[in-house]
Amino acid sequence: MDLLRKLPPFSRPKMLPHNRNEKSSASVLIALCQERDTNEVSLLYTRRSRHLRSHSLQISFPGGKRDETDESYVDCALRETEEEIGLPRERIHIWGEANPIILPRTAAIVPVVGVVPDFHVSELKLNLDEVEEAFSIPINTLISPAVARHTQFRSGYSNPVFVVDELRIWGVTGYLTYFFLRCLLSNAMPQTLKTNIKYIRPYKLPPKLPHHHVEVRE
């Protein structure tokens, strides 16, 4: 958790405008699940409902914006997790929370880390208004070179992506997954997690040449 709290701030490209969503705050649960059948350790994800107005069908961690009734970011993450996938807060052993992560065009996010022992996805009760599906992915799969990708945004920054079969973990969730695994496996970091996210100058297309109309006479 100490390493997660010491993450460097996101280097915001100068050309990227601020967004009103950045004024709010949220928390997500990064759940380390001890799988009942295999004893593997996995991370728990959800796919957002197709009925949501924003980011529908995208993969995310359980969580959401902090309400006035939430006593803390931990309380927010636990409440949202129970509302979305029916996992009782009593099942989650909290390790702690990181400092807020400020990313472009989204709320400030506080990652809350917890452990779910003896986990099986069948115990979840999904709120289909918010969640399309829930699933866990073994950490050994996420650190495999075969699943490592990246996205290059027009504003100039790149972002890690994890592609596992038909599942594509990118955006904020890819960013959080990447840095969490780097912190968790700092003593034996796989090659796929050694590359720092760098700002890359946006590629500019050359100017179009003027079009000359040629009239052909018979």
Q: pLDDT at position 207, please?
A: 61
Cα–Cα distance, 180 to 56 (Å, whole number):
24
Give the angle 165-133-137 at the CA atoms, nearest 5°: 45
Q: For residue 160, what are the contacts with CB-CB under 8 A and spacing of at least 6?
A: 148, 149, 150, 170, 174, 175, 177, 178, 197
Decide if pLDDT at 45 tops 50: yes
**pTM listed for this prediction:** 0.81
Q: How confident is the model at residue 134 (pLDDT cuts 50, 70, 90)?
A: very high
Q: Which residue has the higher pLDDT, 9 or 159?
A: 159
φ, ψ for residue 41, nearest 5 deg:
-105, 125
Decide if pLDDT at 214 tops 50: no
Token pair listed for 211: 């079009």
Give the angle 109-98-108 at the CA atoms, nearest 5°: 15
Domains and CATH numbers, the chain: 2-11+21-193 (3.90.79.10)
CB environment 137-157: b (16+ within 10 A), e (fewer)? bbbeebbeeebbeeeeeebbb
Helices (H), strands (E): how many in the chain? 4, 10
Q: How confident is the model at residue 158 (pLDDT cuts 50, 70, 90)?
A: confident
Residue closest to 70 by CA, chosen among 26, 114, 115, 131: 26
Residue closest to 171 by CA, chosen among 159, 179, 182: 159
Count of other CB atoms within 10 angstroms of residue 218: 2
Are 162 and 142 in contact by the 8 Å Cβ rule? The answer is yes
Q: How confident is the model at residue 113 (pLDDT cuts 50, 70, 90)?
A: very high
Cα–Cα distance, 66 to 76 (Å, whole number):
6
Task: Give residue 51's Cα distance to chain centre.
Answer: 20
Q: How confident is the model at residue 218 (pLDDT cuts 50, 70, 90)?
A: very low
Q: pLDDT at position 156, please?
A: 63
Q: Which range is most confident: 6-20, 77-91, 175-189?
A: 77-91
Q: Which range is most confident: 14-23, 113-122, 196-205?
A: 113-122
Decide if pLDDT at 194 tops 50: yes
Decide if pLDDT at 5 tops 70: no
The stretch 131-141 carries a mean pLDDT of: 95
Decide if pLDDT at 216 tops 50: no
Token pair listed for 75: 């309380």
Q: For residue 51, what are the contacts with CB-CB under 8 A and spacing of at least 6?
A: 129
